[in-house]
Amino acid sequence: MKKSITYLVLLTAFFGLLAGCSSARKLKQENTIVKNEVQKNDSIKNTVINQAIDDKLITPIVQSKTGNAVFDSLVNAKVDEILSKLNTSKNSGDNSYKLIYDRLTKQLEFYAKIAQTKNENTAVKNEKAKTIIQVKKIPVVVEKPLSKLEKFFIGLGILAVVYIGFKVIGFIRKKTSVWG
């Protein structure tokens, strides 16, 4: 009877020791990662190069000839005065223009220089979009405080280990004793 109570106490202490050692639980958390990938294939590059333009336009200005010399000289003088005010020129990089009125030759002259232009177009064919969804499980340690029952079982387990230790030492002494 005494041995069965001892075994019962030892068995209870053993289970208490097992329950007490598993106080921290690991839970798993799921994280979802979404990746979008776009694959581009078969690109076509089209380059158009326009050559430079160097242009010149000369327009003769017709003189007034109405038969009235006084009227014609007044009209022609006023036209010369107005067209002389049109003289202008602009430069920007390789581009330029110039507009001048030549009184001696009675001509309106326009000079233009336009630099070379370059246009590039890229066309992409077979564009594929792919969405990848990954679910990863990341371990997260969640610690909870020990309950009173778990603390009791831990204490009981320690007492059981100490008791078994004394019993084993006593058994070894008994077997190795000379006076036995």
pLDDT of 16 reads: 60
Q: What is the pLDDT of residues 60-81, one digit of tens each?
A: 888 888 888 888 888 888 888 8
| Structure tokens, 87 | 């003289």
Mean pLDDT of 24-36: 60
Residue ranges of the domains in the chain? Answer: 1-23+144-180
Q: How far is the C-alpha of 18 from the C-alpha of 11, rounded, in Å?
A: 11
For residue 103, report the phi and psi dihedrals to the nearest 5 degrees.
-70, -30
The answer to whether the predicted template modeling score (pTM) of the entire model surpasses 0.75 is no
